[in-house]
Every structure is written in structure tokens, then in C-alpha cells.
Homo-oligomer: A and B are copies of this chain.
Amino acid sequence: MKLITAIVKPFKVDDVKSALKEAGVVGLTVTEVKGVGRQGGHTETYRGTEYQVDLVPKVKLEVVVDDPVVDTAVDLIVAAAASGKIGDGKVWVTPVEAVVRIRTGEQGVDAI
């Protein structure tokens, strides 16, 4: 199993969620985060004093999926989240050694 982590633009969350759902991936966890990257920030002023807005609001999605689904899921996320504009975000995949469903104690693929 793998953990797919995606950083996407906030208004893309629904699109990604629907795309994954169509591929049968229902469970996921989202977090409000802020990101820095190539997108850079912009300079604003507050009461006449300049400051950098370099942390842009993003949403992080975490999805644990079974190995065979990983590639499809990543592709779907990338397709759904892309707007072609800078700051669209990243997806990365990390290995997962064990998963448990708390309610039932089921393990592994059954737990997803």
C-alpha cells in the first residue's frame, strides 16, 4: 500500500474528490495548509508598511491506496487538479507498511 499526498489549490478539492470517487477511491483526509514554491508571493501593504505574502493557501489530500491503484489515482489527481497555472501543487507517494481500520481492526487492503 502507498500513501499519496497531494498539495492542490483549494478550489480544486472537489474536483479531485470526485475524480477519485469515480475511480473507486472514496476515503481520504484533507488538511488546510499553506505553501511556498515557484508561485512566489506578492508584496502587499498594511497600514502603509510593505510585507510579503509568500504563504499561499493550499489543501493537502492524503489517500492510502492499494499498490495497483497508485498510478491511476495519481494520474486522476494530477488531471483533476491541473489548471496549468503556476502553483498547481505536487503529488508524492510514500510507502505504507501497515493500515488498520480502527472500527473493526481490519488490516491491510481491507482496511482502506
A contacts, CB < 8 Å to B = 1-3, 5-8, 17, 26-38, 55, 58, 60, 64, 74, 77-78, 81-103, 105, 111-112
Contacts and interface: CB of A to CB of B under 8 A. Distances in A.
A29 B35 contact: yes
Contact of A90 (B35, B77, B102): B102
Contacts of A83: 103
Report the copy number of this chain in the oligomer.
3
Contacts of A101: 88, 90
Q: Which 8 pairs, one residue from A and one from B, show the smallest C-beta to C-beta distance? A: A88-B103, A27-B37, A88-B102, A93-B98, A91-B100, A92-B99, A31-B33, A93-B97
B29 A38 contact: no
B94 A97 contact: yes
A82 B100 contact: no
A112 B96 CA distance: 20
A97 B95 contact: yes
Given A36-B17, A74-B98, A98-B74, A27 B90 contact: yes
